[in-house]
Structure 1
Amino acid sequence: MSQQRKNNYVISADIGGTHITAAVIDLEKKMIIEDTRTRLTVDSHGTATEILKTWAEALTQAYEKFGSPAQQVALAMPGPFDYENGISLIKDLHKYEAIYGLNIKLYLSEELRIDAADILFRNDAEAFLQGEVVAGAGAGSRKVLGLTLGTGFGSALCVDGIVKDLNLGSEPYKDSIADDYFSTRWFLGRYHETTGLSVTGVSSLISMSKHSAVVRNIFDEFAVNLSLFLRDIIQTEGSDVIVIGGNIAKASGMFLDELTARLTAYAESLKIKLALLGEDAALMGAAAAFDSRRGLNILFNANHPGN
Structure 2
Amino acid sequence: MVMNRKYAIGVDVGGSHISSVLVDIESKAIIPDSYAEQKVDNKATSEEILDNWSAAIRKTLNSIEPENLLGIGFAMPGPFDYENGISQIQGVDKYEALYGVNVTNELRDRLQLNQSVPLRYLNDAMSFGVGECWMGEASAYENVVAITLGTGFGSAFLSNGIPVIEGKSVPKMGYVYHISYENGIADDYFSTRWFIDEYQKRTGVKCSGVKEIADKANNEVEAEKLFSDFGNSLGNFLSPLLESFNADCLVIGGNISGAYNLFGPSFEKALKSSGLNIEIAISGLMETAAMAGSGRLADEAYWTDIKHLIPNI
TM range (shorter): 0.7 to 0.9
Contact kept? 1:22, 1:62, Cα under 8 Å = yes
Contact kept? 2:70, 2:298, Cα under 8 Å = no
Match of 2:289 among 281, 286, 291: 281
Aligned to 1:11: 9
Give, in angstroms, the shift of residue 228 of structure 1.
Answer: 2.7
Of the structure 1 ranges 122-131 and 82-91, higher mean CA displacement relative to structure 2 is found in 82-91
Aligned to 2:274: 266
Query: Which whole-Å CA distance do the structure 2 matches of 1:116 and 1:292 have between them?
Result: 13
Change (3 A) 1:221 1:192: same
Give, in angstroms, the shift of residue 230 of structure 1.
Answer: 1.3
Give, in angstroms, the shift of residue 198 of structure 1.
Answer: 3.0
Q: Give a deviation string over 1:239-270, Cα, whole Å, max 9, x none.
A: 11111111111111111111111012213322
Query: Which whole-Å CA distance do the structure 2 matches of 1:47 and 1:186 have between them?
Result: 31
Give, in angstroms, the shift of residue 128 of structure 1.
Answer: 1.4
> Structure 1 residue 227 and structure 2 residue 235: aligned?
yes
Q: Give a deviation string over 1:184-219, Cα, whole Å, max 9, x none.
A: 222223233334433332222222222222222222
Of the structure 1 ranges 187-196 and 246-255, higher mean CA displacement relative to structure 2 is found in 187-196
Change (3 A) 1:191 1:106: farther
> Structure 1 residue 143 and structure 2 residue 151: aligned?
no
Q: Partner amino acid for 1:244?
A: I
Query: Which whole-Å CA distance do the structure 2 matches of 1:275 and 1:221 have between them?
Result: 22
Change (3 A) 1:278 1:294: closer
Aligned to 1:303: none
Of the structure 1 ranges 124-133 and 243-252, higher mean CA displacement relative to structure 2 is found in 124-133
Contact kept? 2:10, 2:293, Cα under 8 Å = no
Aligned to 1:57: 55
Aligned to 2:220: 212
> Structure 1 residue 244 and structure 2 residue 252: aligned?
yes
Of the structure 1 ranges 193-202 and 284-293, higher mean CA displacement relative to structure 2 is found in 193-202
> Structure 1 residue 78 and structure 2 residue 77: aligned?
yes
Query: Secondary structure of 2:31's match?
Result: strand
Give, in angstroms, the shift of residue 39 of structure 1.
Answer: 2.0
Change (3 A) 1:81 1:117: farther
Count, aligned residues: 294
Change (3 A) 1:46 1:230: farther
Contact kept? 1:17, 1:151, Cα under 8 Å = no
Change (3 A) 1:90 1:254: farther
Q: Partner amino acid for 1:60?
A: R
Q: TM-score, normalised by structure 1?
A: 0.83
Q: TM-score, normalised by structure 2?
A: 0.82
Change (3 A) 1:139 1:89: same
Q: Give a deviation string over 1:110-144, Cα, whole Å, max 9, x none.
A: 22222396111112222211222233221222211
> Structure 1 residue 167 and structure 2 residue 165: aligned?
no
Query: Which whole-Å CA distance do the structure 2 matches of 1:170 and 1:43 have between them?
Result: 27
Contact kept? 1:105, 1:116, Cα under 8 Å = no
Aligned to 2:123: 123
Change (3 A) 1:295 1:153: closer
Q: Partner amino acid for 1:286?
A: S
Query: Which whole-Å CA distance do the structure 1 matches of 2:47 and 2:207 have between them?
Result: 29
Query: Which whole-Å CA distance do the structure 1 matches of 2:180 and 2:46 have between them?
Result: 29
> Structure 1 residue 152 and structure 2 residue 145: aligned?
no
User: Unaligned regions of 5+ residues in structure 1, if any?
Assistant: 298-307
